[in-house]
Amino acid sequence: MTATLIDGTAIAAKVRAQVATDAAAYFAGTGKKPGLATVLVGDNAGSQSYVKSKRKACAEAGMESFGFELPKTATQEEVESLVARLNADPNVHGILVQLPLPKQVDENKVLLAITPRKDVDAFHPVNVGKLLIGEPDFMPCTPAGIQQLLVRSGNDPDGKHVVVCGRSNIVGKPVAAILVQKAKGANATVTICHTGTKDMAAFTRQADILVVASGRPNTVTADMVKPGVVIIDVGVNRIEDATKKSGFRLVGDVDFDGVKEKAAAITPVPGGVGPMTIAMLLANTAKAAKLAGK
């Protein structure tokens, strides 16, 4: 068997087209565009490029984006007072504070300062709790994107055994919380593995759907999966590659070449989960505008 590729770029384009339609409907009803405020603190090149692509995606979807930049010496009070201003601004429906923040700024305190109804990253404990009880306003972007990849590629998790490798607060735990719900596009039996799991292969071999978010290349190899498994590879790892001009290439957390002979479907890296993360951020911002009503 050679796996079908789950094309994240194509699926993300469909989500973004739907968001553009929703944004246009919101504009027709209110005379305003859904607005996302981005907060960038410091001059980290990676963060600058992430924020740039998020703002570009907003414009392409007919949404407003407001960019705010603070110096790398910014204090806790300065970041929090900017967040407070954005919380109160009726033209801002979603607030995205790009992480990581400089070390003098407490990230958790900043994320807590964002009002939950504008928390389009869905990291605030109120939104985490709402997700867990099955009543989310917003779902965190990468896990929500994983659910959309599964459903829209014809691999609905309903009734399946999903094994998640990784238990971070931004990927592993929330994706498990989403897929276990008694809800459309979910209703799976979910197992979570991590570094404390003894004999992880015994679990991964039982998976109908495997979501791998360990942050380490080759966490899952061909001998660890059953034939016909559907694999979502969340990992993004740079490895040296002298044949590339940049000197590196991106790989996921799964041994792609090995498992593709056994899997029924798999996401590539890049071009799988990555494009979905931005698409879901746009979807959350459009939803935040709709919930605000004006």
Task: Work out how close the CB of 216 gets to ligand NAP at its nearest, in angstroms, rounded to a whole number.
Answer: 5
- Which tokens sit at 98? 């790009």
- In eight-state DSSP terms, residue 222 is G
- Is residue 142 part of the contact set for ligand NAP (CB under 6 A)? yes
**From the candidates 54, 118, 160, 287, which is the catalytic residue?**
54
Phi, psi (rounded to 5 degrees) for 252: -90, -160
Is there a catalytic annotation at residue 121? yes
Q: How far apart are CA 244 and CA 78, in angstroms?
A: 42
Nearer to ligand NAP, 26 or 50 (CB): 50
Q: Residue 3 burial by CB count (10 A; 0-12/13-18/19+): exposed, middle or buried?
A: buried
Judge whether 224 and 200 are in contact, CB under 8 Å. Answer: yes
Cβ burial 108-125 (10 Å sphere, 16+ → b, else e): eebbbbbebbbbbbbbbe
**From the candidates 33, 98, 118, 119, which is the catalytic residue?**
98
- Is residue 194 part of the contact set for ligand NAP (CB under 6 A)? yes
- Is residue 31 part of the contact set for ligand NAP (CB under 6 A)? no
- The bridge status of strand 230-233 relative to strand 265-266 is parallel
- Is residue 15 part of the contact set for ligand NAP (CB under 6 A)? no
Is there a catalytic annotation at residue 54? yes
- Is residue 258 part of the contact set for ligand NAP (CB under 6 A)? no
- Is residue 170 part of the contact set for ligand NAP (CB under 6 A)? yes
**Torsion on CA atoms 59, 32, 144, 155, rounded to nearest 10:** -80
| Distance set, CA 262 to CA 38, 98, 118 (Å) | 42, 38, 42
- Is residue 214 part of the contact set for ligand NAP (CB under 6 A)? yes
- Is residue 200 part of the contact set for ligand NAP (CB under 6 A)? yes
- Is residue 181 part of the contact set for ligand NAP (CB under 6 A)? no
Closest residue to ligand NAP, based on beta-carbon distance: 168
**From the candidates 33, 118, 119, 121, which is the catalytic residue?**
121
Task: Work out how close the CB of 105 gets to ligand NAP at its nearest, in angstroms, rounded to a whole number.
Answer: 19
Is there a catalytic annotation at residue 147? no
What residues from 236 to 255 belong to the interface with ligand NAP (CB under 6 A)?
236-237, 253
Give the footprint of ligand NAP on this chain (CB under 6 A).
Answer: 142, 165-168, 170-172, 193-196, 200, 213-216, 219, 234-237, 253, 273-274, 277
Could you list the active site residues? Answer: 54, 98, 121
